[in-house]
Chain A
Amino acid sequence: MNMRNPLANARGHGSAKSGTEHWWGQRVSALLMIPLIIWMLYTIIAIIGQPYQVVQVYFSQWINSVLAIALVLAMFRHIQLGLQVVIEDYVHSQPLETILQLLVKLFALAGTITALLAIIRLALQG
Protein backbone atom coordinates (compact mmCIF):
# COMPACT_ATOMS: atom_id res chain seq x y z
CA MET A 1 0.00 0.00 0.00
CA ASN A 2 1.29 3.41 -0.87
CA MET A 3 1.36 5.56 2.25
CA ARG A 4 2.78 8.62 0.49
CA ASN A 5 0.79 11.80 0.31
CA PRO A 6 -0.40 12.23 -3.32
CA LEU A 7 0.91 15.82 -3.29
CA ALA A 8 4.45 14.52 -2.75
CA ASN A 9 4.14 12.38 -5.90
CA ALA A 10 2.64 15.24 -7.85
CA ARG A 11 5.58 17.48 -7.00
CA GLY A 12 8.02 14.76 -8.00
CA HIS A 13 10.06 15.19 -4.85
CA GLY A 14 11.45 12.35 -2.81
CA SER A 15 11.67 12.52 0.95
CA ALA A 16 15.10 14.17 0.92
CA LYS A 17 14.30 17.03 -1.46
CA SER A 18 13.28 19.39 1.27
CA GLY A 19 14.46 19.98 4.80
CA THR A 20 18.10 19.86 3.77
CA GLU A 21 18.37 23.56 2.85
CA HIS A 22 20.11 24.39 6.11
CA TRP A 23 22.72 21.67 5.77
CA TRP A 24 23.39 22.51 2.12
CA GLY A 25 23.45 26.24 2.76
CA GLN A 26 26.13 25.78 5.40
CA ARG A 27 28.28 23.66 3.06
CA VAL A 28 27.82 25.77 -0.07
CA SER A 29 28.66 28.98 1.79
CA ALA A 30 31.71 27.23 3.30
CA LEU A 31 32.92 26.08 -0.13
CA LEU A 32 32.41 29.55 -1.59
CA MET A 33 34.42 31.08 1.21
CA ILE A 34 37.54 28.96 0.58
CA PRO A 35 38.66 31.02 -2.46
CA LEU A 36 37.17 34.20 -0.97
CA ILE A 37 39.16 33.88 2.28
CA ILE A 38 42.31 33.34 0.20
CA TRP A 39 41.45 36.57 -1.66
CA MET A 40 40.90 38.28 1.73
CA LEU A 41 44.35 37.19 2.94
CA TYR A 42 45.85 38.41 -0.34
CA THR A 43 44.00 41.71 0.14
CA ILE A 44 45.32 42.16 3.68
CA ILE A 45 48.88 41.54 2.45
CA ALA A 46 48.36 43.93 -0.47
CA ILE A 47 47.00 46.86 1.53
CA ILE A 48 48.54 46.57 4.98
CA GLY A 49 50.60 49.60 5.86
CA GLN A 50 49.59 51.31 2.61
CA PRO A 51 48.27 54.89 2.60
CA TYR A 52 44.50 55.52 2.38
CA GLN A 53 44.67 56.38 -1.32
CA VAL A 54 46.10 52.98 -2.24
CA VAL A 55 43.46 51.09 -0.22
CA GLN A 56 40.67 53.20 -1.69
CA VAL A 57 41.87 52.60 -5.25
CA TYR A 58 42.15 48.85 -4.52
CA PHE A 59 38.50 48.72 -3.42
CA SER A 60 37.33 50.84 -6.35
CA GLN A 61 38.47 48.14 -8.78
CA TRP A 62 35.68 46.05 -10.26
CA ILE A 63 37.07 42.63 -9.42
CA ASN A 64 37.71 43.56 -5.80
CA SER A 65 34.21 45.03 -5.35
CA VAL A 66 32.65 41.86 -6.73
CA LEU A 67 34.77 39.57 -4.54
CA ALA A 68 34.15 41.70 -1.44
CA ILE A 69 30.37 41.54 -2.02
CA ALA A 70 30.56 37.78 -2.58
CA LEU A 71 32.55 37.34 0.65
CA VAL A 72 30.11 39.44 2.69
CA LEU A 73 27.08 37.54 1.34
CA ALA A 74 28.59 34.07 1.84
CA MET A 75 30.03 35.00 5.23
CA PHE A 76 26.85 36.40 6.77
CA ARG A 77 24.80 33.48 5.44
CA HIS A 78 27.33 31.07 6.98
CA ILE A 79 27.24 33.06 10.25
CA GLN A 80 23.45 33.00 10.45
CA LEU A 81 23.21 29.27 9.73
CA GLY A 82 26.09 28.43 12.09
CA LEU A 83 24.91 30.50 15.06
CA GLN A 84 21.40 29.14 14.54
CA VAL A 85 22.61 25.57 15.15
CA VAL A 86 24.66 26.57 18.19
CA ILE A 87 21.61 28.26 19.75
CA GLU A 88 19.36 25.29 18.85
CA ASP A 89 21.83 22.94 20.56
CA TYR A 90 22.61 24.86 23.74
CA VAL A 91 19.72 27.23 24.52
CA HIS A 92 16.62 25.35 25.60
CA SER A 93 14.56 27.99 27.39
CA GLN A 94 11.77 29.97 25.79
CA PRO A 95 11.46 32.81 24.98
CA LEU A 96 15.27 33.26 25.17
CA GLU A 97 15.89 30.87 22.28
CA THR A 98 13.50 32.66 19.93
CA ILE A 99 14.87 36.05 20.92
CA LEU A 100 18.45 34.92 20.25
CA GLN A 101 17.49 33.41 16.87
CA LEU A 102 15.85 36.68 15.86
CA LEU A 103 18.87 38.68 17.06
CA VAL A 104 21.17 36.47 14.98
CA LYS A 105 19.02 37.10 11.88
CA LEU A 106 18.99 40.84 12.61
CA PHE A 107 22.77 40.85 13.12
CA ALA A 108 23.36 39.01 9.82
CA LEU A 109 20.97 41.27 7.91
CA ALA A 110 22.28 44.52 9.40
CA GLY A 111 25.89 43.40 8.84
CA THR A 112 25.18 42.46 5.22
CA ILE A 113 23.43 45.74 4.41
CA THR A 114 26.04 47.92 6.13
CA ALA A 115 29.00 46.13 4.54
CA LEU A 116 27.43 46.13 1.06
CA LEU A 117 26.67 49.85 1.30
CA ALA A 118 30.29 50.54 2.27
CA ILE A 119 31.62 48.39 -0.59
CA ILE A 120 29.29 50.10 -3.11
CA ARG A 121 30.30 53.56 -1.89
CA LEU A 122 33.95 52.61 -2.33
CA ALA A 123 33.23 51.23 -5.79
CA LEU A 124 31.52 54.46 -6.86
CA GLN A 125 34.40 56.61 -5.59
CA GLY A 126 36.67 55.13 -8.27
Chain B
Amino acid sequence: MTEETRKQRLERPLSPYMIGSYYKPQLSSMLSIAHRASGVFLSIFGATLMVYWLVALSQGPVAYHEALMLLSAWPAKVLLGLLCFAIYYHSLNGIRHLIWDTGRMLEIKQANLAAIIVLIASSTAAIVTVLIVGGWL
Protein backbone atom coordinates (compact mmCIF):
# COMPACT_ATOMS: atom_id res chain seq x y z
CA MET B 1 0.00 0.00 0.00
CA THR B 2 1.42 3.37 -0.97
CA GLU B 3 1.49 6.30 1.42
CA GLU B 4 -1.18 7.98 -0.72
CA THR B 5 -3.71 5.12 -0.52
CA ARG B 6 -3.02 4.66 3.18
CA LYS B 7 -3.86 8.32 3.71
CA GLN B 8 -6.97 8.04 1.57
CA ARG B 9 -8.15 5.03 3.53
CA LEU B 10 -7.69 6.76 6.86
CA GLU B 11 -9.76 9.68 5.60
CA ARG B 12 -12.59 7.52 4.34
CA PRO B 13 -15.91 8.40 5.94
CA LEU B 14 -16.98 5.98 8.68
CA SER B 15 -20.53 4.99 9.39
CA PRO B 16 -21.42 6.79 12.61
CA TYR B 17 -21.16 4.78 15.82
CA MET B 18 -24.46 3.79 17.35
CA ILE B 19 -23.33 5.21 20.70
CA GLY B 20 -21.83 8.68 20.62
CA SER B 21 -22.76 12.15 19.50
CA TYR B 22 -24.40 11.07 16.24
CA TYR B 23 -27.48 9.37 17.60
CA LYS B 24 -29.43 10.26 20.69
CA PRO B 25 -29.43 7.42 23.22
CA GLN B 26 -32.29 5.02 22.61
CA LEU B 27 -33.69 2.19 24.66
CA SER B 28 -32.83 -0.32 21.93
CA SER B 29 -29.18 0.71 21.54
CA MET B 30 -28.59 1.04 25.29
CA LEU B 31 -30.01 -2.42 26.01
CA SER B 32 -28.02 -3.85 23.13
CA ILE B 33 -24.68 -2.61 24.45
CA ALA B 34 -25.73 -3.59 27.99
CA HIS B 35 -26.39 -7.12 26.66
CA ARG B 36 -22.80 -7.30 25.39
CA ALA B 37 -21.36 -5.73 28.53
CA SER B 38 -23.28 -8.10 30.81
CA GLY B 39 -22.22 -11.03 28.62
CA VAL B 40 -18.54 -10.12 28.87
CA PHE B 41 -18.89 -9.51 32.62
CA LEU B 42 -20.60 -12.88 33.18
CA SER B 43 -18.05 -14.66 30.98
CA ILE B 44 -15.06 -13.33 32.89
CA PHE B 45 -16.33 -13.23 36.47
CA GLY B 46 -19.42 -15.46 36.52
CA ALA B 47 -17.89 -18.46 34.77
CA THR B 48 -14.62 -18.20 36.70
CA LEU B 49 -16.46 -18.00 40.01
CA MET B 50 -18.61 -21.01 39.09
CA VAL B 51 -15.56 -23.12 38.22
CA TYR B 52 -13.78 -21.97 41.40
CA TRP B 53 -16.79 -22.92 43.53
CA LEU B 54 -17.15 -26.35 41.85
CA VAL B 55 -13.43 -27.13 42.31
CA ALA B 56 -13.56 -26.08 45.97
CA LEU B 57 -16.63 -28.26 46.54
CA SER B 58 -14.98 -31.25 44.86
CA GLN B 59 -11.90 -30.92 47.08
CA GLY B 60 -13.75 -31.48 50.32
CA PRO B 61 -15.18 -29.63 53.33
CA VAL B 62 -12.05 -27.63 54.22
CA ALA B 63 -11.56 -26.17 50.74
CA TYR B 64 -15.30 -25.58 50.44
CA HIS B 65 -15.44 -23.59 53.68
CA GLU B 66 -12.40 -21.56 52.66
CA ALA B 67 -14.17 -20.67 49.41
CA LEU B 68 -17.33 -19.67 51.26
CA MET B 69 -15.29 -17.49 53.62
CA LEU B 70 -13.71 -15.76 50.64
CA LEU B 71 -17.12 -15.27 48.99
CA SER B 72 -18.59 -13.69 52.13
CA ALA B 73 -16.02 -10.85 52.18
CA TRP B 74 -17.68 -7.61 51.15
CA PRO B 75 -15.92 -7.08 47.77
CA ALA B 76 -17.05 -10.58 46.83
CA LYS B 77 -20.58 -9.76 47.98
CA VAL B 78 -20.66 -6.70 45.72
CA LEU B 79 -19.41 -8.85 42.82
CA LEU B 80 -22.06 -11.51 43.53
CA GLY B 81 -24.79 -8.86 43.63
CA LEU B 82 -23.70 -7.46 40.26
CA LEU B 83 -23.44 -10.97 38.80
CA CYS B 84 -26.94 -11.65 40.04
CA PHE B 85 -28.36 -8.66 38.17
CA ALA B 86 -26.22 -9.48 35.10
CA ILE B 87 -27.47 -13.04 34.84
CA TYR B 88 -31.14 -12.05 35.14
CA TYR B 89 -30.68 -9.23 32.65
CA HIS B 90 -28.65 -11.23 30.11
CA SER B 91 -31.03 -14.22 30.32
CA LEU B 92 -34.23 -12.17 29.94
CA ASN B 93 -32.82 -9.88 27.27
CA GLY B 94 -31.42 -12.98 25.55
CA ILE B 95 -34.97 -14.34 25.34
CA ARG B 96 -35.97 -10.98 23.79
CA HIS B 97 -33.25 -11.51 21.18
CA LEU B 98 -34.34 -15.11 20.52
CA ILE B 99 -37.93 -13.92 19.93
CA TRP B 100 -36.61 -11.39 17.41
CA ASP B 101 -34.72 -14.19 15.69
CA THR B 102 -38.06 -15.85 14.94
CA GLY B 103 -39.18 -12.62 13.21
CA ARG B 104 -41.57 -11.54 15.98
CA MET B 105 -41.79 -8.43 18.21
CA LEU B 106 -39.71 -6.36 15.81
CA GLU B 107 -42.01 -3.30 15.75
CA ILE B 108 -40.49 -0.39 17.70
CA LYS B 109 -43.37 -0.26 20.19
CA GLN B 110 -43.21 -4.02 20.83
CA ALA B 111 -39.41 -3.99 21.14
CA ASN B 112 -39.53 -1.08 23.57
CA LEU B 113 -42.29 -2.68 25.63
CA ALA B 114 -40.22 -5.88 25.87
CA ALA B 115 -37.20 -3.74 26.82
CA ILE B 116 -39.07 -2.15 29.74
CA ILE B 117 -40.36 -5.56 30.86
CA VAL B 118 -36.79 -6.94 30.79
CA LEU B 119 -35.46 -3.99 32.80
CA ILE B 120 -38.18 -4.09 35.45
CA ALA B 121 -38.15 -7.90 35.76
CA SER B 122 -34.38 -8.24 36.00
CA SER B 123 -33.99 -5.40 38.53
CA THR B 124 -36.85 -6.70 40.68
CA ALA B 125 -35.55 -10.27 40.57
CA ALA B 126 -32.02 -9.11 41.43
CA ILE B 127 -33.17 -6.98 44.38
CA VAL B 128 -35.38 -9.78 45.74
CA THR B 129 -32.57 -12.33 45.35
CA VAL B 130 -30.01 -10.08 47.05
CA LEU B 131 -32.42 -9.40 49.93
CA ILE B 132 -33.16 -13.12 50.43
CA VAL B 133 -29.70 -14.54 49.74
CA GLY B 134 -27.82 -11.67 51.40
CA GLY B 135 -28.96 -12.98 54.76
CA TRP B 136 -27.22 -16.31 54.18
CA LEU B 137 -23.79 -15.01 53.21
Contact = CB atoms under 8 A, between A and B. Distances in A.
Contact of B47 (A49, A79, A117): A79
A102 B36 CA distance: 20
B51 interface: yes
Nearest to B101: A27
Interface residues of A, number: 30
Interface string A26-68: 0100110110010000001000110011011001000000001
Contacts of A86: 36, 39-40
Contact of A122 (B50, B51, B57, B87): B57
A83 B43 contact: yes
Interface string B47-82: 110110011011011001100000000000000000
B25 interface: no
Contact of B98 (A31, A44, A115): A31
Counting chain B CB atoms within 10 Å of each CB, which of A53, A82, A119, A125 scores highest?
A82
A82 B39 contact: yes
B136 A121 contact: no
A98 to B, nearest CB: 19
A114 interface: yes
Contacts of B54: 68, 114-115, 118-119, 122
A78 B94 CA distance: 12
Interface of B: 36, 39-40, 43, 47-48, 50-51, 54-55, 57-58, 60-61, 64-65, 87, 91, 94-95, 97-98, 101, 133, 136
Closest 8 CB pairs of A and B: A118-B58, A118-B54, A49-B136, A52-B61, A121-B58, A79-B43, A115-B51, A118-B55
